[in-house]
Each structure stands twice: as structure tokens, then as C-alpha cells.
Amino acid sequence: MLDTLQTLLAFVVTLSILVAVHEFGHFWVARRCGVKVLRFSIGFGKPLISWRDRHNTEFAVAGIPLGGYVKMLDEREGEVAPEEAHLAFNRQSPSKRIAIAAAGPLANFILAVLVYWLFFMGGTQGVAPLVGGVEEGSLAQKAGLVAGQEIVSVDGKATPTWEQLNIRLLERVGESGELSIAAKYPESDLIYESTVILDGWMQGVAEPDPVAGLGLELYRPKVDPVIEEVVADSAAERAGMQAGDRLLAADGQVMDDWMTWVDYVKARADTPIALEYERNGVVETTEITPAGRDMDGKRVGFVGMAVVPPPPLPEKWFREYHYGPIEAFIAASHKTVHMSVFTVESIYKMITGLLSPKNLSGPITIAKVAGASAEYGLSAWLNLLALLSISLAVLNLLPVPVLDGGHIVYGLIELVSGRPVTEKVQMVANQVGLAMVVCLMVFALYNDVLRL
């Protein structure tokens, strides 16, 4: 129950910040363009609290925290007093209306830059992408990669950390053509470069894992298979397992690493395992049957026990970077641009079928990720906030009626032709755009439910 409340709280706080920043962009520019703002609302429905400023603009926080809006004076939405007609949104020049529409997404981009700037100012750290294993016959093997190497770049772009490697490889999902990889041994400066040919690589795969898709297993230190905790009423408890037990073998196969045991259990849902373990220096045996759970369309086994935390990774495995204020701002701007382009490319790949639409997420997934990020700490949550802010900005700039991008298109058409788009055309287009957005939201929610 507590976890659910934390997840909901993290979701509401995250979404409220994103919406507040987005709507403030519209509000701030509208005021400076001489448009009268009637209401600034965070959330939909009946206001829980509200107040007015000296311009008689109502500020409200409503009970349904799934968005927000800025309501401006507009002759198309009701009667406007003649003395206030010049303050109406629809009376403004096309350039002003475009500026007001674009201000919301721009505010989200600015938020992302500021968050990333704070990250880079404080220094960034990540684990180097060291190769732990290469799958037989995989693209990684064809590229000549071997265990022990560190991948330093993909397509000429640096990959100092696991995160950067994943991002660079995700950019190529669904594509065909050459993929260049550069690697080196940790104690050497000699760079080994190779090229492999992609042919619709992982096209249509739901939730693609690009590292595994390349045939790579990233290096991880062995974790001593010693139990720290056994979950009550779990398969492990029923099998008599206790904290402090050391796993030795499963069905005769040596278990010298905790992750080897985890992989073994996952592949054997509802299947008995003959387990050999050591307790207080004495070797004992038992039978344990992993409980089965459906995850991402697969039956996965769980036994209900946790491992003793491993020692921290060696310092030599980490890559750390520090920036001054100007360098940090440049790096933050570059990352915001890169993630924006990546988001646009992902949308294009979904539309063209190169990327599975099952990767589209809705509010449930966002809530779960927000909650998990909050558990990992402020840094993880801020990183998610920046990424969601970029996604919100890009989606709103799509040329779809009812979205900011649609209003920008209306303004551009009027600028070029010298005539506004007729209200009848706008009404029909807005209905079509609304239907598209609703369908997209329903599909994203459907994906969320499947993931549950």
C-alpha cells in the first residue's frame, strides 16, 4: 500500500511540474503578446483551490491531475466585450499566435536543459561498458568483439558508459546498413574498429534490448550466491531456505554466481529444482519449485529470496566527468537536442513499423517509472523529469490539430496565404485530431495494462 501511494505521489508531482512549466510558457508569452488570460489551471475538473491576480486571471489546481490548460479570451469561445476585443487570442497576428502556441513546448525544452545543466555541473559518473561475453554467431562476434574489451564508440559517437552505449544502439533499432563499433582493452590505448551490416535490426521487437540484440553480455562482477533474506510464504521458505545459506548447485549445475542462479530460476517456472546448498559448513539438499509469473508474454520463475549485497565496483570501472558552468550548459543543450531527435526518430519508426508500437507507454507505466526513480533518489528522478519534459515538448509540436503543433500550422498557413484557415475547416480538423489523440492514449493505456 505504501509503495502504491509513493508511486502515485511521484506521478502526480512529476506530471504537475511538467504541466505547470508547459502551461506557464503559454501564459507568459500570451501576457506579453497582449492577450487576456482568463484561467491558468493545473489539472482538469472542479478546482480544489483557486485565486485571482491583479489582472483578474484565475489560477486553479483541479482534482484530476492528468494535464492542465491556459484559457485565453477568444471570440470563438464566447462573447467578448467590444472594449476587450483587442485582447482576444483570435484577434492577434499569426506570428503572435504561433509564438504563444510554441511557448509551451519551448518551456519544456528549457526545463530539460536546466535539469541536465545541474547534472553536468555536479559531475556525471557511469560504469564503463566492458564486454563480459559474446554470443556465438551474433553481430558482436562478427564485429570481432571479445570478452574483456571496453566499447568506446558506436558510429563514431563516444560510449563512455552503459547508458550511452544503450542510447547509441537504440538509435539504430529497426534500421539497415553499416554499424561501426570501436573497442579497446582497458589497459591499452590501441583502438580496434570494425563494421557489421544491419538488416532491419530488431525491427518490430517490443521493448528491444539493443545490447542483447547485438549478442553482447556486459561484464558484471560475480556476486556471491549467499542468501540475505527469504520472503515469507515463498517457494524458498517452503523449501526450508534460510538467510546465510550459500547456494552450491542446481540440478547438478554449479551456481558460483548469484546471477547464474537468477537466470536458471527464471527459465524454470513451475519446474522442481534439486538444490544443493551449504549451511553452517554442512552441505544439504532440498527441492524448490519456482512460482511462475507472466512477464512481457513469457512465463518467468521466482523463488522469493534476496542476495547479500555485493561489494562496490572498483573505481577503475567508473568514468567521471566534470564541467564548468559554460561547458555544462553546452553539454546540457547538446543532450537535450540529441534526446529530442531521438524521440522524433522513435515516433517515425513506430509510424513506419520499424519500431514496435508496444513500446508506447501511458500514465500507468509513467507512474511506475516515476515511483521507481523516486526510490533511486533525486538524481534518477530529475533525469526522468528531463526526459519526460522533452517527450512532452516533441509530442505537442507534432502537426496534429488540437495540439500546439496544429495551432502553429494554422498560423503558418495564414502567414503564407494571407488568409486564416476557416473556422469550419478548423472545427473538422480539431475533431479528427482529438480522435487521433484519444486513440493514441487508449492504445498507450492498453499497453500499460498488458505490462501489468
- Active centre residues (catalytic): 23
436 phi, psi to nearest 5 deg:
-65, -45
| Rounded distance between C-alpha atoms, residue 85 and residue 108, angstroms | 30
**Residue 145 near residue 131, CB atoms below 8 Å:** yes
- Phi, psi dihedrals of residue 428, rounded to the nearest 5°: -65, -45
The residue type at 273: I
Query: For the chain, percent helix, then strand, then coil, each to nearest 5?
Result: 45, 25, 30
What is the C-alpha to C-alpha distance for residues 332 and 328, in angstroms, rounded to an integer?
A: 6
Q: Terminus-to-terminus CA distance in the chain, angstroms?
A: 16
Classify each residue of 228-259 as buried b or exposed e, where b means 16 or more C-beta atoms within 10 Å of its C-beta.
eebeeebbbbbbebeeebebbbbeeeebebbe
The answer to whether residues 97 and 89 touch, using CB atoms and an 8 Å cutoff, is yes
Place of cell 566499447: 151
Hey, is 82 helix, strand or coil? helix
> 130-133 contacts: CB < 8 A, separation 24 or more?
130/186, 130/218, 130/219, 130/317, 131/183, 131/216, 131/217, 131/218, 131/219, 132/217, 132/218, 132/219, 132/220, 133/216, 133/217
Inter-residue contact 398 to 405 (CB < 8 Å): yes
Contacts of 308 (CB under 8 A, 6+ apart): 224, 226, 227, 228
- Three state DSSP letters for 91-140: HCCHHHHHHHHHHHHHHHHHHHHHHHHHHHHHCEEEECCEEEEECCCCHH
Contact 19, 68 (CB under 8 A): yes
Most distant CA pair in the chain, distance: 92
Residue 371 and residue 148 in contact, taking contact as beta carbons nearer than 8 Å: no
* Three cell numbers written together for 9: 505521489
Query: CA dihedral defined by 237, 238, 242, 243, rounded to 10 degrees?
Result: -20
